[in-house]
Amino acid sequence: MMRSIGIGELQKNTSIFKNLTEAVQIVDKRKKINLAMVYPVHTQSVISGLAGKYQSRVVKSDLSMSDIKDQSMTLAMKDKYDLPS
């Protein structure tokens, strides 16, 4: 089944596209014309393709992305302000 939404609804709630599971038809309700069809896309991880020949050299991590960001920020601040490790 296809959902049909107007431009106003789309402008108010753009998160519709975040968890799209079915086709959505975007309609101009005043002019009664179909503007676009939006279909869900199921993406696959591209990390292995981007790593290329260095894929085997990349160390796999069990840390979450937020922990990795925190560690890198802490290290950057230590370097910037010459703090001891």
DSSP string, 13-49: -GGGGTT--S-EEEEETTTTEEEEEE--------HHH
Q: Is residue 48 part of a domain?
A: no
Would 24 be classed as within a structural domain? yes
With respect to residue 21, please indicate whether it lies within any of the assigned structural domains: yes
Task: Identify whether 19 is part of a domain.
Answer: yes
Whether residue 17 lies inside any domain: the answer is yes
- This prediction has a pTM of 0.45
Number of Cβ within a 10 Å radius of residue 20: 14
Yes or no: say if 28 and 7 are a contact pair by the CB < 8 Å rule: yes
Residue 10 lies in a domain: yes
Residue 22, domain extent: 3-38
- Whether residue 59 has pLDDT greater than 80: no
Q: What pLDDT shows up at residue 46?
A: 60
Within a domain: residue 62? no
**CA–CA distance from 71 to each of 3, 44, 47, 57 (Å)?**
44, 27, 21, 21
Given a cut of 90, whether residue 47 has pLDDT beyond it is no
Report the number of distinct structural domains present in the chain.
1
pLDDT band at 71 (very low <50, low <70, confident <90, very high): very high
